[in-house]
Each structure stands twice: as structure tokens, then as C-alpha cells.
Amino acid sequence: MPVLVGAILGLGVYVLVRALVPSKRSAVSQVARIDAMRARGAAYESARKAAEQGRVGSLRAEVGLRVSEFYLQQGWEQRSLRADLAVLDRSWENFLATKVLLGVAGLVFGPFLFAVVWTMSLASGPVIPVWLALACAALFFFLPDLEVRRDAADKRRDLRRVIGAYLDLVSMSLAGGRGLPEALMAAAEVSDGWATQRIRNALADARITGTSQWQALGQLGEEIGVEELKDLSASLALVADDGAKVRESLAARAETMRHRELAEIEGSAGEKSQSMLVAQLLLCAGFLVFLIFPAAMRVFQVS
């Protein structure tokens, strides 16, 4: 126990030193820090609007801004989490505020849980509430990460399904005689779902900024962490001048995405079948134990 306590204390001191000592920031984090300083006025304006909504909203916005600035100072980019939040269309500051507030709630919940256990005379000791508070705080702090990653994975799966249908529509529009920019926008205007809205907004922004639409699709894929959009952008940039090659490339890519989706569905069905088989085996084992137990008890009593 002393060795375990010393190891945990040493790990805590190391984490504290790493958190307080600024690490070497990359060029991306430096640019992000400059952009954050420029946009601080808008951020505080949003905090003021949240304050008008209520005290809880004001506290959450203030905590989110403080923690976001701390992340920028330490150079913690968290690209995967930012991509997940971009897919879910959630704010980075609100996400950080939620993590911190849940961690504080875990610090309170740990001693409360110990009080309940101590009342039932199941545990005692002055060290247990501290460990329970730290464990609950760590658990509550990382719960939003698990939720965001799960929801983002589901939305990316839906987005890939929509991209496959979108590529088919673009190929059909190209076969009808439209140019590539018109075909990309026309296919995005077919539906009002969230995925097609993100694609349509990216294409509209490309028109305003003067960039090519396939570059806009690549930037959208980089933002939300979808490799299919980045690959589509690269392939369109290579064959954008040849309509026949574009149609063939889009049709082949759509077919590949459909085959991949079917493979994922079959794999998921196989996993569910295996889990059902394991459940049936456990049920049979329990039934066999129920049958054998009386006979075994009689044998042991006779002997």
C-alpha cells in the first residue's frame, strides 16, 4: 500500500508540473492563439448574451473561456475532439466548461457516496472519501469525451452514407450535361438533411471566397474528420477538367463506399450473432447447473 500511494502521488506531482509548465507550441497552436485573441471580443459578447440568459449560462461561458485559453497556452490542440465537436456542431468552450463543471460535481459526489456507504456500516476510514472524490471527479471529467466520440461516430456513419448517395447524384448530373460546379451544388440542394446542409454551406462559402468547390469539400472533410471528403477533393482536383473521367471516378467511389457500408453492416450483424450465441451458451450452462445441482447434493450427502 505505501508503494501504491507513493506511485500515485508521484504521478499526480508529474501531471501537475506538466500542466503548469508551458510546453513547446506548434505553429498551428500559435496561429490559433492569435486568432483566439482577435476573436476574444466576440467571445466575451457571447458570454454577455449567455449572462443575460441566466447565472448558470454566465458561469458556464466564463469557465469555458478560461479553460480554452489555458488549453491554448499549454499548446493542447485536441484535434480529434475538435473534429468530433465540429461534426456535432457544438462549441469547444461549452464542451470544456461541461467537463470542468462535471469534474467539480464529481468531487462533491464522492464524499456523498461515502456518507451513504458509511451510514450502511459498509466502510470506514478517513482516506476513502478522498479517493472516492478523486475517482468520481476523473470519471465525470471524461464522461463528455465518451459521449461526444460515440455521437460523432454515429453522425460520421450517417454522413458517409449520404456522401455515397451524393456522389451518385453528382454523376447523374454530369451525365445530363451539367458542369462540375453546377452538378456539385445541384446534388447538394436535393435534400435538407444536416449532412447535405453542411456540404451545401461549404460549396456556398467556396463561391464567396473564390476557392474551388473541391477544395471546400476537402476543408470540410479536414474540419469534421471525414477521410472520404478529403479523398474526394483530391480526386476531383486531378480530373476536374475531364468530364468523362470525373463521372467514372465518382461512380467508382460511390460503389466502393456502398460496398464498404455493406461490409460494415455484415460485420455488425456478425458481432450481434456472436453475442447472442454467447448468451445462449450461458443460459444453457445455467440450466445444466440447475439440473445437476440436486443430484450432486444427494451424492455428497450419501458419501
Start-end of H helices in the chain: 2-20, 27-38, 40-53, 55-74, 79-88, 92-119, 128-175, 180-188, 194-209, 213-224, 227-239, 243-302
Region for residue 146 given its phi and psi (left: phi exceeds 0; alpha: psi -120 to 50; beta: otherwise):
alpha
Distance of CA 242 to the CA centre of its chain: 38
Each residue of 209-238: pLDDT tens digit?
888 888 888 888 888 888 888 888 887 777
Distance CA 258, CA 236 (A): 19
In this structure, what DSSP letter does residue 190 have? S
Distance CA 120, CA 115 (A): 9
- Report in angstroms the alpha-carbon separations of 294 from 32, 109, 302: 71, 46, 12
Give me the mean pLDDT over the 277-301 stretch: 84
What's the pTM value of the predicted model, to 2 decimals? 0.65
CA angle at residue 173 from 168 to 178, to 5 degrees?
Answer: 150
Q: What is the mean pLDDT of the chain?
A: 78
Question: Would you place residue 57 in the very low, low, confident or very high pLDDT band (cuts 50, 70, 90)?
Answer: low
pLDDT > 60? residue 90: yes
Each residue of 96-131: pLDDT tens digit?
888 988 888 888 887 777 776 676 665 566 667 777
Q: b vs e for 1-29, b when ≥16 Cβ sit within 10 Å of the residue's Cβ? A: eeeeeeeeeeeeeeeeeeeeeeeebeeeb
- Report in angstroms the alpha-carbon separations of 93 from 16, 66, 172: 22, 9, 42
**CA-based radius of gyration for the chain:** 28
As to burial, measured by CB atoms within 10 angstroms (0-12 exposed, 13-18 middle, 19+ buried), residue 251 is middle
Which is more confident, 55 or 130? 130
Distance CA 55, CA 205 (A): 36
pLDDT > 70? residue 192: yes
Question: Would you place residue 27 in the very low, low, confident or very high pLDDT band (cuts 50, 70, 90)?
Answer: low
Question: Would you place residue 44 in the very low, low, confident or very high pLDDT band (cuts 50, 70, 90)?
Answer: low
pLDDT > 50? residue 52: no
- What three-state secondary structure class fits 105? helix
pLDDT > 50? residue 239: yes
C-beta of residue 99 within 8 angstroms of C-beta of residue 141? yes
